[in-house]
């Protein structure tokens, strides 16, 4: 069976070049290439996020941020849940598995996995859950179908976990897996990390990812929205750029920083007119460039609110266990051990800025020595190297 037909809004807009495209990257000399723009990812200067307390509860936003950031509720549960959520509070990372998010997909991924029975078996299991031949789309495309939100998210999830099995089959691979003491993933990749850490089964995680992609696509279809990566400015300057753009648009078109990826690369999400205003004003703020991201809509903002209730219902029906190792949340850059807290955070993740830069900096500051990127592409490795050129990270594909 082939996957269901995809609406026109679910594919890459032809007038926008994906910043991860080899054509885009190869067209410019290496020394002139800006940091990679990516659809799934944000650093506030402080170690604690504005508006989020140490335990994840919502606080009042500073005035200079509340003007343009769409407020999101990030309450993570009752006091009882908070008390049960301290297992990994003092974690000390040494070896990490990092999993990519949407945008890392490429036609041909999954081929290497077929030579490893345990990895190939994951694709067979995926077919049963999804109802179509995922491997065929991964290996043969077409690209427009693989790039769609509803296909790319489960494709990356399965291929990334297949990469774990590819590594396991190598000499010394099991020893590496046994040495991993922390994991995290970029947006979608957080689900992959939780599956690796044993918080839920492969099949349950895939069902959640499938629904997540569908719910995000539907939310994007319901409003005119977009994402743009701003290259060459620090996060404070990008915030001022958002403020300036928001002064010229209605409430429904306001924008916010949605993805804090790495120094000089922050994705802005919001209404289409607001995004266009950001693009028009970026040069006056001395941005090097802007790149419109080829995604369905304004991910990680209030525009994704319609997806939250569907995720909440699915998560409520899913058995989630305490992870075996710390899994760092995209929402607050902290590990969580209480299953109910994890469910609440996953539901709010789609409307909350992704704190990837803070996550990586925190891991490195806590003593992380070695990292592995598991899955398609080398996006994560590039990001980590831009945060710290001396970071030791290795790619494992499938």
The answer to whether the bond into 142 is cis (omega within 30° of 0) is: yes
Q: Tell me how far the alpha carbon of residue 30 is from its chain's centroid.
A: 25
Decide: 245 and 253 in contact? Cβ < 8 Å. no
Among candidate residues 148, 152, 187, 225, the one labeled active-site is 187
Of 40, 229, 269, 300, catalytic: 300
Q: How many residues are there in the chain?
A: 398
18 is catalytic: no
Is 300 considered catalytic here? yes
Hey, which residues are catalytic here?
Answer: 187, 300
């Amino acid at each position: 069976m082939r996957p269901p037909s995809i609406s026109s809004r679910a594919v890459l807009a032809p007038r926008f070049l994906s910043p991860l495209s080899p054509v885009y990257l190869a067209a410019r000399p290496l020394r002139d290439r800006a940091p990679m723009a990516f659809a799934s990812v944000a650093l506030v200067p402080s170690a604690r996020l504005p508006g989020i307390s140490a335990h994840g509860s919502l606080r009042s936003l500073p005035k200079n941020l509340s003007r343009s950031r769409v407020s999101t509720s990030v309450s993570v549960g009752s006091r009882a849940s908070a008390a049960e959520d301290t297992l990994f509070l003092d974690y000390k990372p040494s070896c990490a598995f990092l999993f990519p998010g949407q945008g890392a997909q490429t036609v041909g991924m999954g081929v290497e996995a077929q030579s490893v029975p345990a990895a190939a078996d994951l694709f067979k299991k995926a077919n049963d859950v999804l109802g179509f031949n995922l491997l065929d789309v991964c290996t043969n495309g077409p690209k427009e179908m693989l790039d769609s939100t509803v296909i790319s998210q489960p494709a990356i999830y399965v291929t990334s976990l297949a990469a774990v099995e590819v590594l396991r089959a190598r000499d010394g691979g099991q020893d590496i897996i046994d040495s991993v003491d922390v994991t995290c993933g970029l947006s979608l990749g957080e689900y992959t990390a939780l599956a690796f850490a044993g918080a839920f089964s492969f099949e349950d995680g895939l069902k959640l990812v499938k629904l997540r992609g569908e719910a995000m696509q539907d939310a994007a279809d319901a409003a005119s929205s977009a994402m743009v990566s701003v290259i060459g400015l620090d996060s404070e300057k990008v915030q001022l750029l958002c403020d300036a753009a928001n002064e010229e648009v209605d409430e429904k078109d306001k924008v916010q920083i949605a993805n804090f990826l790495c120094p000089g690369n922050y994705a802005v999400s919001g209404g289409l007119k607001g995004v266009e205003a950001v693009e028009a004003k970026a040069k006056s703020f001395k941005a090097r460039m802007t790149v419109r991201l080829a995604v369905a809509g304004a991910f990680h903002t209030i525009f994704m609110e319609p997806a939250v209730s569907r995720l909440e219902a699915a998560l409520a029906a899913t058995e989630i266990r305490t992870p075996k190792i710390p899994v760092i949340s995209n929402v607050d850059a902290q590990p969580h051990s209480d299953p109910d807290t994890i469910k609440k955070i996953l539901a709010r993740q789609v409307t909350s800025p992704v704190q990837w830069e803070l996550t990586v900096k925190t891991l490195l500051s806590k003593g992380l020595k070695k990292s592995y990127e598991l899955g398609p592409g080398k996006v994560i490795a590039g990001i980590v190297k831009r945060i710290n050129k001396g970071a030791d990270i290795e790619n494992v594909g499938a």
